[in-house]
Chain A
Amino acid sequence: MWNYNKDVMDHFLNPRNVGEVENADGVGEVGNMSCGDALKFTFKLDENGRIAEAKFKTFGCASAIASSSALTELVKGMTLEEAAKVTNQDIVKILGELPEEKMHCSVMGMEALQAAIADYRGESLADNEEHDGQIICKCFGVTDSTIKNVAKTNNLHKASEITNYCKAGGACGACIDKIQEILDDMWQAPENQELARDAGSFDKLSIVQKIMKIQEIIDREIKPLLEKDGGSLELVDLRGNLVLVRLQGRCASCPASNVTLKNTVEEKLKEFLSPELKVENC
Chain B
Amino acid sequence: MDKVIYLDNNATTKVDERVAAKMMPYLTERYGNPSSIHSFGGSVMPDIEDARRAVANLIGANFRNKDNCATEILFTSCGTESDNAAIMSAIATQEGRKKIVTSKVEHPAILSKCKELARLGYTVSYIGVDNRGRLDMEELKREIDNDTAIVSIMWANNEIGNIYPVEEIAELAHAKGALFHTDAVQAVGKVPIDMSKNSIDFLSLSGHKLHAPKGIGVLYIRRGVRFRPLIVGGHQELGRRAGTENTASIIALGEACKIAAAQVAEEVKLLSSMRDKLEAELLKRIPKIRINGDLDSRLPNTSSISFEYIEGESILMLLDIFRICASSGSACTTGSLEPSHVLRAMGLPYTAAHGTIRFSFSRYNTMEEVDTVLEKLPPIISRLREISPYWSEK
Contacts and interface: CB of A to CB of B under 8 A. Distances in A.
Interface of A: 2, 12-13, 15, 18, 29, 33-40, 57-62, 64-65, 99, 101-102, 139-140, 163, 167, 170-171
B88 interface: no
Interface string B149-188: 0000000000000000000000000000000000000000
A18 B311 CA distance: 16
B314 A60 contact: yes
Contacts of A61: 311-314, 330, 332-333
Contact of B387 (A29, A65, A139, A140): A65
Contacts of A13: 321
Interface in B266-316: 309-314
B332 A57 contact: no
Contact of A140 (B337, B339, B388): B337
A33 B390 contact: yes
Contacts of A29: 389
5 contacts: A33-B390, A34-B350, A37-B332, A61-B311, A64-B311
Majority DSSP secondary structure for residues of B touching A: loop
B339 A36 contact: yes
A57 B338 contact: no
Contacts of B310: 59
Nearest to A104: B337
Nearest to B334: A101
B354 interface: yes
Contacts of A58: 387-389
B337 A59 contact: no
B247 to A, nearest CB: 27
Contacts of B321: 13
A33 B351 contact: yes
Given A59-B389, A102-B332, 12 more contacts: A15-B387, A33-B354, A36-B330, A36-B354, A57-B387, A59-B354, A61-B313, A65-B314, A101-B335, A139-B338, A140-B337, A170-B338
A37 B392 contact: no
A229 B262 CA distance: 42
Interface in B333-347: 333, 335-339
Nearest to B313: A61
Interface of B: 309-314, 317, 321, 330-333, 335-339, 350-351, 354, 386-390, 392
A139 B336 CA distance: 13
Interface core residue of B311, B331, B339 (most chain A CB under 10 Å): B311
Contacts of A171: 337-338
A64 B330 CA distance: 14
A85 B175 CA distance: 68
Contacts of B390: 33, 38, 59
A12 B311 contact: no
Given A29-B389, A36-B338, A170-B337, A62 B350 contact: no
Contacts of B311: 36-37, 59-61, 64
A36 B389 contact: no
Contacts of B351: 33
A88 to B, nearest CB: 17
A65 B313 CA distance: 11
B389 A39 contact: yes
Contacts of A57: 387-389, 392
A36 B314 contact: no
Contacts of A40: 389
Nearest to A9: B317
A115 to B, nearest CB: 13
Nearest to A18: B387
A60 B354 CA distance: 9
A8 to B, nearest CB: 10
Nearest to A12: B317
